[in-house]
């Protein structure tokens, strides 16, 4: 199953404490964020990737053109360094297509520019390339197949640490509670789609909210609630927290690594397509 990764944005919030490298190329441990996202999909057997490039395209291309398997795999070196025998590999069976989708294109516009690569697929996957999860992707795909929806998204609880204040007309506070306690869910950035999505995308618009707003009245947008591990790497602080998790070996998203993975939490499968009325679709 093909995987479309949107990795061409400027990532301005991430660049607060980092160099000018694109957000998906910021390191988590010894590999970039993009690699971690791709390894997640490969773990479930989906290794045909389409990278929607824009800002920092050269950095993404150069990384894979010069990819060094020895960084994350065991090997034996012989012949004074001339011969290397790998015990395992990361990307030798991956197929990666690099497509320039424009410097300032929206997610919807980037998706439209790779239409020819997915329009003949029954189902394809998509991701913002800046989020990590331990969710069961196979369960998500199975639920989507039974839903009748055109698009399914992973829906996660808000991750904000802020508090919501409820008050009366006189300004007196009646309740204070954490954002995460609200009965709302965020767009988690992991999508399962049918090529029918292109019937709902228009030039100059975005996937969220424009295409989704057309899907909702028809009951064609499914949300799969997930309360397990999920992290976005939107800011430098987010990446620093992921770096700290990696350093202490607490990496629940690394399902492919028996030495580092955590237990995946249960995916809550809806019995029918969800109209996403309670979603915060970012």
Rounded Cα distance, 195 and 71, in Å: 37
Q: Count the domains in the chain.
A: 1
Give me the residues paired with residue 191 across strands: 126, 153
Residue 170 lies in a domain: no
Going by C-alpha positions, the residue among 152, 144, 147 that lies closest to residue 191 is 152
pLDDT digits (tens, 9 = 90+) for 71-81: 989 999 998 87
243 belongs to a structural domain: yes
Please check whether residue 249 lies inside any domain of the structure: yes
What percent helix, strand, coil does the chain show, rounded to 5?
30, 25, 45
CATH number at residue 33: 3.90.550.10
The CA distances from residue 276 to 10, 140, 213, 267, in Å, are: 28, 16, 10, 16
Would 233 be classed as within a structural domain?
A: yes
163 domain residue, yes or no: no
- Residue 12 in domain: yes
Which structural domain, as residue segments, surrounds residue 95?
2-156+186-276
| DSSP state at residue 249 | T
SS3 76: strand
Q: Which of 6, 26, 97 has the alpha carbon at shortest distance from 240?
A: 26
- Angle in degrees, CA 159, 162, 167, rounded to 5: 130
- Written as tens digits, the pLDDT of the chain (282 aa) is 999 999 987 754 444 544 567 889 999 999 999 999 999 999 999 999 999 999 999 999 999 999 999 998 999 999 887 899 999 999 999 999 999 999 999 999 999 999 999 999 999 999 999 999 999 999 999 999 999 999 999 999 987 777 889 899 999 898 998 877 777 899 999 999 999 999 999 999 999 999 999 999 999 999 999 999 999 998 888 999 999 999 999 999 999 998 775 544 456 656 544 434 345 455
| 181, part of any domain | no
């Amino acid at each position: 199953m093909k995987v479309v990764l949107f990795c061409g944005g400027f990532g301005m919030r991430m660049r607060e404490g980092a160099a000018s490298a694109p957000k998906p190329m910021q390191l988590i441990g010894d590999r970039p964020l993009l690699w971690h996202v791709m390894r997640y999909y490969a773990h479930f057997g989906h290794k045909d990737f389409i990278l929607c490039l824009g800002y920092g395209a050269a950095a993404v291309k150069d990384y894979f053109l010069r990819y060094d398997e020895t960084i994350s795999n065991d090997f034996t070196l012989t012949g004074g360094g001339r011969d290397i025998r790998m015990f395992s590999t990361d990307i030798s069976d991956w197929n990666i297509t690099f497509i320039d989708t424009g410097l300032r294109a929206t997610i919807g516009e980037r998706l439209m520019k790779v239409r020819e690569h997915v329009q003949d697929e029954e189902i394809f996957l998509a991701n913002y390339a800046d989020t990590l999860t331990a969710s069961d992707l196979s369960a998500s795909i199975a639920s989507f197949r039974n839903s009748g929806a055109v698009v399914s998204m992973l829906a996660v609880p808000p991750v904000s640490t802020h508090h919501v204040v409820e008050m009366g007309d006189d300004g007196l506070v009646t309740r204070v509670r954490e954002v995460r306690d609200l009965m709302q869910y965020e767009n988690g950035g992991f999508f399962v789609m049918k090529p029918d999505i292109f019937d709902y995308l228009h030039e100059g618009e975005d996937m969220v909210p424009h295409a989704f707003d057309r899907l909702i009245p028809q009951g064609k947008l499914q949300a799969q609630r997930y309360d397990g591990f999920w992290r976005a790497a939107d800011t430098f602080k987010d990446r620093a927290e992921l770096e700290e998790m990696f350093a202490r070996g607490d990496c629940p998203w690394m399902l492919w690594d028996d030495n580092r993975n955590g237990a995946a939490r249960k995916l809550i499968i809806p019995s029918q397509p969800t109209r996403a009325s309670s979603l915060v679709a970012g």
